[in-house]
Amino acid sequence: MSEVKTIVDHGKIYLIANITNRSAGLLLLPVYTYVLSVEDYGLYAIIMAVSDLFTIVFGMGFAGAMSRFYFERNNSKQQQNLVVSTTMLGFFAIASLILVFAYPLASLTVEVMFQSQQYLQLFMYTIAGLVFTILYELLMGYAVIRKRAWSYFAMALSKAVLFIGLNLLFVVYWKLGVPGIIYATIASLGSLSLVALAITFSRVGFGFSKTLFKQMLLFGLPLVPSAFANSALTTVERYYINSIIGPAAVGVYSLGHRLASMLHMFIAAPFSQIFFVRRFETLAKGEDQSAFHRILLLFVAVMMFFALLLSLFGTEIVWLISPEAYLDVVVVLPLLGLSFVLSSLNLNIELGIFYNKKTWAIPLIGFITLAVGIPANYLLIHQFGIYGAGLALLFVNIVRLVTTVLINSVLGSPFITLDWSRASSIMTVGTVLGILVNLAMSDSVSFYSVALKLTVAAVFLMMLLKTPLLDKQTKQDLASFRR
């Protein structure tokens, strides 16, 4: 039970930090959906998908490598500082690559995505700005591995304030549209990252080890193809929606995707930030993992409960933050919610492969997923529009999770497991309830509909607490924590 409290106590701060960090984007959603046209919001969604893709490529798995080598040297503070300083100094080589390739990559991207050079300058600035995006993520990762939750929170708060302020200036006051969002991103992350980098160097020094740098590259680079393949699916998804249906459909679908991603931002991310660290530490010490198995099942239950809430109240949420043109995405929310639950669960199972240093197997998972996802997106989007995109995303995440579980059982840690029958039942029940209520009441906003949806949510919660969906020991853990 102490593990549950440790993870929750630390997770609270990370949760608040992630809410703060992501609140900027969420608070600005109504600004984007009302100030930008649906087509321009679709363009912004495509830019973000491409940005995420190149962030992974140029990040070279450095954040994961820094974490791994930092914990391996837990007996020497000097060696841990060397890991961090080598990571940060090595990043300057990455930054140089980004700036050199910004123009040719932007030119290639706009030609593939739009068959024209219309948005060349916009994509070039976006790619060049990844220098600060990656640096910010490395610095946030450093706060996590040091278990400095309050430092993490301070950086998140600073980013949120800067990002909101600059967006209001560039997008609302100066009416720069999508370019204004890009300028605000570069300015906010750039100023914050440079200050945090100076503070970090003052703490760890300027040591650099060529041998360590090579080891980190060898560890991190095998992670890039997998992450690239996973992120490429989002770009493929946006590409097919844009080419088959149009940019407005990209905007509508992307709003639903953004709402579903809150499950990861506000629940999975803070959970994982402490859960991963604790699990690595206890695995290294050979400690019993049964408490972690139950925690992971609780994680699935919590994620699914909030995915159900998103499905039930999707109409109300979309109605509050956007024009009516976006309401078509409501019926897709149950599929998107379950997809993010599966995706977050997959990251926790992959941990066993990371722990055994079998990172060369991770790209295999990614490319199997990509190979399945490309035709699935084409066929399903062609047939069912944005609902087909949701079906494709769900199918892809099921394939990814099954593949990860199989590979972990052979190459990973046998201690990374889950009560799959209960987890599957929880996800199935929650998704079916969401789909049924959503289909029956997707266009209804009234006191009656809200009351009915709250009743359905309460029924699901009672099923978790009073039926065998959760085992007896897990319920006892939960009851003990509540006391």
Tokens of 250: 């990209």
Separation in Å, CA 105 to CA 51, 68, 110, 111, 283: 11, 31, 9, 10, 41
Rounded to whole angstroms, how far apart are CA atoms 157 and 353? Answer: 33
Separation in Å, CA 240 to CA 75, 222, 359, 384, 448: 51, 28, 31, 12, 38
Rounded to whole angstroms, how far apart are CA atoms 118 and 179? Answer: 13
Report which of 36, 41, 395 is spatially closest to residue 249, judged by C-alpha positions: 41
Q: Is the pLDDT of residue 272 over 60?
A: yes
Residue 232 and residue 380 share a domain: yes
Rounded to whole angstroms, how far apart are CA atoms 280 and 258? Answer: 30
**Residues 6 or more apart in contact with residue 258 via CB below 8 angstroms:** 25, 29
CB atoms within 10 A of CB 124: 18
| Burial (CB count within 10 angstroms: exposed 0-12, middle 13-18, buried 19+), residue 84 | buried
Residue 159 and residue 255 share a domain: no
Domain that holds residue 152: 61-220
Top-confidence residue, 447 or 20:
447
Rounded to whole angstroms, how far apart are CA atoms 304 and 126? Answer: 34
Q: Is the pLDDT of residue 1 over 50?
A: no
Residue 364 and residue 290 share a domain: yes
pTM for the model: 0.89
Rounded to whole angstroms, how far apart are CA atoms 105 and 120? Answer: 10
Q: What is the DSSP letter of 360?
A: G
Report which of 266, 198, 242, 471 is spatially closest to residue 378, judged by C-alpha positions: 242
Report which of 460, 438, 474, 482 is spatially closest to residue 329, judged by C-alpha positions: 438
Residue 418 lies in a domain: yes
The predicted-structure confidence for 32-58, as pLDDT tens digits, reads as follows 999 999 999 999 999 999 999 999 889
The domain total for the chain is 2
| Burial (CB count within 10 angstroms: exposed 0-12, middle 13-18, buried 19+), residue 39 | middle
Rounded to whole angstroms, how far apart are CA atoms 322 and 250? Answer: 15
Residue 405 lies in a domain: yes
Domain boundary pick from 185, 220, 255: 220
- With contact defined as beta carbons under 8 Å apart, do 383 and 241 qualify? no
- Residue 157, helix vs strand vs coil: helix
Residue 190 lies in a domain: yes
Among 39-43, 150-154, 325-329, the least confident range: 150-154
Task: Identify the pLDDT of residue 455.
Answer: 97
Task: Identify the pLDDT of residue 224.
Answer: 82
Q: Is the pLDDT of residue 4 over 70?
A: no
**Residues 6 or more apart in contact with residue 107 via CB below 8 angstroms:** 117, 120, 124
Residue 252 and residue 396 share a domain: yes
Average pLDDT, the chain: 91
Residue 311 lies in a domain: yes
Top-confidence residue, 73 or 326:
326
DSSP secondary structure string for all residues of 159-226: HHHHHHHHHIIIIIIS---HHHHHHHHHHHHHHHHHHHHHHHHHHH-S---HHHHHHHHHHHTTHHHH
- With contact defined as beta carbons under 8 Å apart, do 182 and 129 qualify? yes
Q: Is the pLDDT of residue 180 over 90?
A: yes
Average pLDDT over residues 261-274: 86
Residue 367 and residue 228 share a domain: yes
Task: Identify the pLDDT of residue 148.
Answer: 85
Residue 464 and residue 417 share a domain: yes
Tokens of 40: 């321009």
CA 455 to chain CA centroid, Å, is: 30
What's the pLDDT band for 263 if we cut at 50, 70, 90?
A: very high
Task: Identify the pLDDT of residue 482.
Answer: 59
DSSP secondary structure string for all residues of 272-323: HHHHHHHHHHHHHTT---HHHHHHHHHHHHHHHHHHHHHHHTHHHHHHHHS-
Residue 230 and residue 178 share a domain: no
Among 81-85, 149-153, 281-285, 452-456, the least confident range: 281-285
Residue 426 and residue 300 share a domain: yes
Q: What is the DSSP letter of 444?
A: -
Residue 172 and residue 297 share a domain: no
Residue 29 lies in a domain: no
Residue 39 lies in a domain: no
Domain boundary pick from 191, 220, 249: 220
Task: Identify the pLDDT of residue 191.
Answer: 97
Residue 327 and residue 228 share a domain: yes
Residue 256 lies in a domain: yes
Average pLDDT over residues 336-346: 97
The predicted-structure confidence for 420-461, as pLDDT tens digits, reads as follows 999 999 999 999 999 999 888 867 788 899 999 999 999 999
What's the pLDDT band for 147 if we cut at 50, 70, 90?
A: confident
The predicted-structure confidence for 185-225, as pLDDT tens digits, reads as follows 999 999 999 999 999 999 999 999 999 999 999 888 877 87
Tokens of 313: 């109240």
Residue 65 and residue 7 share a domain: no
Report which of 241, 225, 270 is spatially closest to residue 56, judged by C-alpha positions: 225
Residue 338 lies in a domain: yes
The predicted-structure confidence for 348-388, as pLDDT tens digits, reads as follows 999 889 888 787 888 889 899 999 999 999 999 999 999 99
- With contact defined as beta carbons under 8 Å apart, do 178 and 52 qualify? no
DSSP secondary structure string for all residues of 106-121: HHHHHHHHHSSSTTHH
Residue 301 and residue 180 share a domain: no
Q: What is the DSSP letter of 332?
A: G
Domain boundary pick from 158, 192, 220: 220
Helix axes 130-145, 62-72, angle to 10 degrees: 20
